Structure 1
Amino acid sequence: MNLKQLSQLLGLSQTTVSRALNGYPEVNAETRRRVLEAVRETGYRPNRAAQRLATGRAGSIGLVMPTADGIYSDVHFGEFLAGLGDEAVKHDFHFVINPSHPDDEAATCRKLVASGNVDAIFLAYMREKDPRIPMLKSLKTPFVVHGRTIGVPTDYPFLDIDNTGAFYDAARLLAQLGHRHFALINGPDHLAFAMRRKKGAKRALAEHGLTLPEECIYHARMTDEQGFQAMERFLRLDTPPTAILCSSTVLALGAVRAINQAGLKLGQDISLIAHDDVLPMLRPENFSVPLTTTRSSLRAAGQRIAQRLIAGILNLEVLPQQELWKTDLIVRASTGPAPAGKPA
């Protein structure tokens, strides 16, 4: 089907259909909805070269994917991309994915923007004083950050979850249950979300006169194997922790395996709370002992970031530039009172 046939089907002029597809603000919302619905039903695809000439837009969102020896695929990032895709497909937007060594990401972002192949870009894996932020602020291409950096003014568009609040709530619950010996299995220590989660846990413990010793903090890639290794190490301590905080249900999967192999009972001998990104293949309620979690959907975050970027590109609506989502604390069987007889 071509543009002429689509316009005849809808009883609209070719100009109106084209303007609806290209996000012109003078096309009302109902007409745009009719056009997009017809596009989905008929499978119509505009000539992208002609569309770019007419609008000056590429119809693409750019992202830089870190890759190097020792960096493995990340199920969390995949779920986030699925959310981006859910929204992008509604508006016939594409992704331009540029691989980069982690040390070169700022330069790669600049090159991607300079190529003219993207209308907007999003950033992830935020670090302390992240150099990509000032670089992108100096350019004209719209961007949204998933997360927030640390140590610089928060004067850029972002969507983040309250990582500090999430792990404050989790640690406070365990302290209220009488636990006195804690451990944290966290993400890589150079990433901002991991810094904030450690900060939240320490703040809650300090309010109860407790500490989180360095030997009870483990930073690593968020994989099953790293969770297992961390938990094994903690169980070998002279005073093993009875309360564990995990930055992911993937880490928790390995931690629970180590707990089971040690002959301990989750929720009785040891309590555990994990952060749940709502990964469809790893639901906390399906663990042998259902996990207590802090919860916020990565897929929903991806959808929202794509919605914000595309709305800005197509002038569809004005959306918030900065969003900090609260997490839900879901209590299940993996948390219980501190076991009797443990040393204070």
Structure 2
Amino acid sequence: MNLKQLSDHLGLSQTTVSRALNGYPEVSERTRERVQNAAEKHGYSPNARARGLAMGRAQAIGHVLPLSAQHEMVNPVFGDFIAGAGEVYAGANYDLHLTLVPDGDEEAAYHKIAAKRSVDGIIVHGPRMQDPRIDLLGTLGLPFVVHGRASDVVAPYAWLDVDNTRAFFRAAQFLIDLRHRRIGLINGLEFMDFAHRRRLGYLRALEGAGLQVDPALMSSAEMTEINGHHAMRRMLALPSPPTAVLTASIMLAIGARRAVEDAGLTLGRDVSIITHDDDLSYLRNGQDVPLDGAPAGQNVPIFTATRSSVRDAGRRVAEMLLARIAQPGAAPETKLLEAELILGRSTGPCPHA
């Protein structure tokens, strides 16, 4: 049954029926109940897109991703984030609008989206230290939420982030407590805000323990398996190699583990690794060996890790953005999440302690 058929059945105008279904106050409660009961009885469901247009909305959320030679945004982390956000969009009858643009064309893409009014809001991914997209979206008047933060942007804006500094401070401190003194860092690209903050946490822990910061034990690159392998292999070849390493992602940790094993060393005994785990659906911090005495199905993760679900972050950011769209004049909301430090088989006491 369509709107006209429902209207004819009730003997009301299509405008009255539409207003009753969409909660307009000028429709009496008696008429509203009558229309809603008839719609339920005859299986009529209003078209979400048409309803959105009637309310001046596109019923879509935008995601603009650059196709960068420096930093690849279309990766497993983005996939899990979108899966979480998509659950919220679907529940609210919103569509996802994905725009892929060449490096350097983001500003033009945002102007085009704002002019066409093709989305009701934007989620900003992968913020840099000084991110021009934040000021731009504020100028364009597009509601937006940033997944992460931009340290050098002082204007208020809505964001959700993990406390990366605290997470890597705690991880480095854990290794220091295990009496490791040569601790490396295999990080992401440090013009990205999350990587900058993780480096800061690592440095604070070392300096707080009175340990020398050795630039040879620090690496910054795209978070891929091969880069993790290369960085770990280079560090292990040093005259005084690390006994422990922090890595910024599971992919880097997998590559670092491969380098440790290629060198004939044992993970967790000769070299300890702590990684950041986004709790990815298709790239789990797997269970290598059952934990002694643990119930069936409960195993030890491969890597000791700072864990924070990026899928859950997707849900939360989407909810924050929909709230901003509903109340555009509200003060920007910010949320800082704590990463959980989980113990795996990749860490142990310093072998030289």
**Into which bin does the TM-score normalised by the smaller protein fall?**
0.7 to 0.9
Map of 1:55 onto structure 2? 55
Q: Is the CA contact 2:172–2:206 (under 8 Å) kept in the aligned structure 1?
A: yes
SS in 2 for 1:302: helix
Q: Deviations over 1:229-255 (max 9, x none)?
A: 111111111111011101011111111
Aligned to 2:91: 90
RMSD, matched Cα = 3.0
* Residue-by-residue CA offset, 1:49-87 (whole Å, 9 max, x unaligned): x33441110001111111145664411111111111111
Q: Distance in 1 between matches of 2:256 and 2:201?
A: 21
Q: Is 1:2–1:46's contact at 8 Å kept on the other side of the alignment?
A: no
Aligned to 1:165: 166
Equivalent position SS for 1:264: coil
> In structure 1, what is the Cα distance between the partners aligned to 2:319 and 2:234?
43
Greater C-alpha radius of gyration: 2
Counterpart CA distance in 2 for 1:60 and 1:247 is 32
**What is aligned with 1:273?**
274
Question: Which letter does structure 2 place at the counterpart of 1:209?
Answer: G
- 1:113-132 aligned at under 5 Å gives the runs 113-132=114-133
Which letter does structure 2 place at the counterpart of 1:268?
Answer: R
Does the 8 Å CA contact 2:278/2:310 hold for their aligned counterparts? yes
1:309 shift after superposition:
1.4
Q: Which of 12, 17, 23 is residue 21 of structure 2 equivalent to?
A: 17
Letter of the structure 2 residue corresponding to residue 91 of structure 1:
A
2:351 aligned with 1:339: yes
Change beyond 3 A, Cα 1:243–1:114: same
Q: Which residue matches 1:212? A: 213
Q: 1:255 to 1:16 in 2, by over 3 A?
A: farther
Q: Distance in 2 between matches of 1:249 and 1:53?
A: 43
Alignment TM-score, normalising by the size of structure 1: 0.85
Instruction: Give SS of 1:95's match.
Output: strand
Instruction: Rate the CA distance shift 1:166–1:114 in 2: closer, same or farther, 3 A.
Output: same
For 1:105 and 1:211, the matched residues in 2 are separated by 41
Contact 1:98–1:112, Cα closer than 8 Å, also in 2 = no
Match of 1:306 in 2: 318
Q: Which moved more, 1:319-328 or 1:227-236?
A: 319-328
SS at match of 1:199: helix
Kindly provide the CA deviation profile for residues 271-302 of structure 1, in whole angstroms up to 9, marking residues without a partner as x: 11000100122222424672111011101111
Partner of 1:324: 336
Secondary structure of the structure 2 residue equivalent to 1:103: coil
Q: Which runs of 5+ in 1 are unaligned?
A: none
> Who is 1:200 aligned against?
201
Matched AA of 2:274: I
1:183 CA displacement: 0.9
Deviates more, 1:132-141 or 1:301-310: 132-141
Residue in 2 aligned with 1:221? Answer: 222
**How far apart, CA to CA, are the structure 2 residues paired with 1:279 and 1:108?**
29
Distance (Å, rounded) in 2 between the aligned partners of 1:46 and 1:307: 22
- Give the match's secondary structure for 2:222: coil
Question: Which is worse superposed, 98-107 or 254-263?
Answer: 98-107
| 1:183 and 1:212 in contact (8 A); partners too | no
Task: State the identity as a percent.
Answer: 41
Aligned mates of 2:70, 2:172 — CA distance in 1: 32
SS in structure 2 opposite 1:335? coil
Q: Which moved more, 1:213-222 or 1:159-168?
A: 213-222
